[in-house]
């Protein structure tokens, strides 16, 4: 037998021994697994280490109330709710640039668990779900940018809304004058939504001279009357009349036994209807 043949036989022998050891090890492992199954009453589960950076998320069907907006410029907006008991109410926020629409909406939504948020050019959407007398109510807020280019979003924002907020900055009279244009545009697409006229930045407004305050209060009340709207002065910064406005809408929509108090005192946040 040559040197090479001796080496091959030697290697074969070692492989044979290794094979037998592996078979015996597999046999004992099988017996051990069976013993474990019998002792804990559950099938043995094998855990796999996931690659680093892997994120775990629930399957899509487990995500509650998915809001899908294909393109807000067209009317292809779909709201999917997996909960049959969830009532979805759409509200649009309209008004000039920099008057505090987004701040107002963000103050209301807060940073609670159930909030959802979607920002696109010209329109920002936020959702907030709350329990009202045992029912789950979800407000879908459509905040249209105040610039001219965002006007295209008015139809989609107003369509099917239950309420429309016509907003102006209490410290900027021209933004109050603009409300007429916003109202005319909105009513083309929705004639039934509850109109609410909201003066923002009340915290800055109270620092203005009383006669100027009085002039603005008078004009705002006249506009509200013409629009058949309820008038609220508010401040997102100081959380004045933010939640109250949503409570008012709910009470009006569902005939709840809650009434907002009229307040016509100069220097206080006005509420008029
Ligand atoms: N003092 C005061 N400032 C506010 C209040 N709400 C908003 N602001 C300020 O007003 C500015 C504009 O606020 P936004 O919420 O971005 O206004 P907007 O109406 O969404 O503006 P556009 O998205 O451009 O249409 C920001 O500097 C805010 O900090 C408020 O209640 N009081
Ligand atoms: Mg904004």
Paired strand residues for 138 = 88, 129
Q: Which residues contact 91 (CB under 8 A, 6 or more apart)?
A: 139, 140, 141, 142, 161, 162, 163, 164, 165, 249
Does residue 242 register a pLDDT over 50?
yes
* Half-sphere exposure in the Cβ direction for 49 (13 Å, CA): 2
Q: 95 CA distance to ligand 2 centroid (A)?
A: 10
The more confident residue out of 53 and 247 is: 247
Q: Can you tell me the mean pLDDT for 96-118?
A: 83
Which residue ranges have their beta carbon within 6 Å of ligand 1? Answer: 97-103, 145-146, 200-201, 203-204, 235-237
Q: Report the percent of the chain where pLDDT is more than 70.
A: 66
The closest ligand to the CA of 170 turns out to be 1
Task: Report how far ligand 2's centroid is from the alpha carbon of 223 (Å).
Answer: 23
Are 118 and 178 members of one domain? Answer: yes
Q: Does one domain contain both 96 and 32?
A: no
Ligand 1, atom 27, lies closest to the CA of 98
pLDDT for residue 167: 98
In the prediction, which pLDDT does 176 show?
98
User: Ligand 1 pocket check: which of 94, 101, 103 to mutate, most ligand atoms within 8 Å of Cβ?
Assistant: 103
More confident residue, 114 or 125: 125
User: Is 58 within the bounds of a domain?
Assistant: no
CB atoms within 10 A of CB 98: 14
- Residue 56 located in a structural domain: no
Which of the pair, 21 or 183, is modelled with greater confidence? 183
pLDDT confidence of residue 264: 96
Determine the distance from the C-alpha atom of residue 251 to the mean position of all C-alpha atoms in its chain, rounded to a whole number. Answer: 22
Residue ranges making up the domain that contains 146: 86-272
Asked if residue 250 has pLDDT above 90, the reply is yes
Say whether both 163 and 261 belong to one domain.
yes
Tens-digit pLDDT profile for residues 131-187: 888 889 999 999 999 998 888 999 999 999 999 999 999 999 999 999 999 999 999
Residue 255 is predicted with a pLDDT of 87
Residue-wise pLDDT for 177-210, tens only, equals 999 999 999 999 999 999 999 999 999 999 999 9
> How does residue 4 score in pLDDT terms, banded at 50, 70 and 90?
low
- Domain co-membership, 32 together with 91: no
> Residue 234 maps to which CATH number?
3.40.50.300
The answer to whether residue 110 is domain-embedded is yes
Tell whether the torsion through CA atoms of 220, 221, 222 and 227 is positive or negative. positive
Q: With H, G, I as helix, E, B as strand and everything else as coil, classify residue 23.
A: helix
Between β-strands 230-233 and 194-200, what pairing exists: parallel, antiparallel or unpaired? parallel
Looking at the fold, whether 105 and 21 belong to one and the same domain comes out as no
Structure tokens at 240: 């004045």
pLDDT at 131: 87
Cβ-proximal residues to 3 (8 Å cutoff; 6+ apart), any chain = none
List, as ranges, residues with CB under 5 A of the ion ligand 2: 102
Instruction: Please check whether residues 230 and 146 belong to one and the same domain.
Output: yes
114: helix, strand or coil: coil
Number of separate domains in the chain: 2
What pLDDT sits at residue 52? 37
d(CA 154, CA 134): 33
How much is the average pLDDT of 221-225? 98
Per-residue pLDDT reduced to its tens digit, 82-91: 466 889 999 9
C-alpha of residue 97 to centroid of ligand 1, in Å: 8
Supply the residue whose CA is at minimum distance from atom 8 of ligand 1. 100
The ligand minimizing its distance to the Cα of 145 is: 1
Q: Could you tell me if 34 and 97 lie in one domain?
A: no
Per the model's pLDDT, the better-predicted residue between 3 and 70 turns out to be 3
pLDDT at position 48:
34
């Amino acid at each position: 037998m040559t040197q090479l043949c001796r080496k091959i036989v030697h290697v074969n022998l070692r492989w044979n021994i290794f094979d037998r050891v592996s078979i015996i090890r597999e046999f004992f492992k099988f017996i051990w697994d069976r013993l474990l199954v019998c002792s804990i009453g559950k099938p043995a589960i094998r855990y796999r280490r996931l690659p680093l950076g892997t994120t775990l998320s629930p399957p899509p069907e487990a995500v509650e109330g998915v809001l899908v907006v294909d393109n807000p410029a067209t009317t292809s907006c779909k709201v999917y709710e997996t909960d049959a008991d969830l009532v979805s109410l759409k509200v649009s926020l309209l008004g000039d640039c920099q008057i505090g629409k987004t701040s107002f909406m963000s103050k209301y939504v807060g940073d609670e668990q159930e909030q959802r948020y979607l920002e696109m050019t010209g329109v920002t959407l936020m959702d907030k779900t709350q329990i009202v007398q045992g029912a789950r109510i979800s407000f879908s807020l459509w905040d249209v940018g105040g610039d001219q280019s965002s006007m295209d979003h008015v139809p989609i924002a107003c369509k099917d809304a239950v309420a429309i907020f016509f907003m102006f900055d209490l410290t900027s009279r021209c933004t109050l004058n603009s409300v007429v244009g916003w109202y005319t545009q909105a009513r083309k697409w929705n004639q039934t939504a509850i109109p609410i006229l909201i003066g923002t930045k009340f915290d800055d407004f109270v620092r203005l001279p009383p006669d100027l305050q009085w002039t603005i209060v008078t004009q705002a009340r006249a506009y509200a009357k013409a629009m058949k709207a309820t008038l609220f002065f508010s401040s997102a910064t100081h959380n004045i009349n933010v939640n109250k406005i949503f409570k008012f809408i709910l009470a009006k929509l569902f005939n709840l036994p809650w009434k907002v108090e009229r307040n016509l005192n100069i220097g206080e946040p006005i509420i008029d209807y």
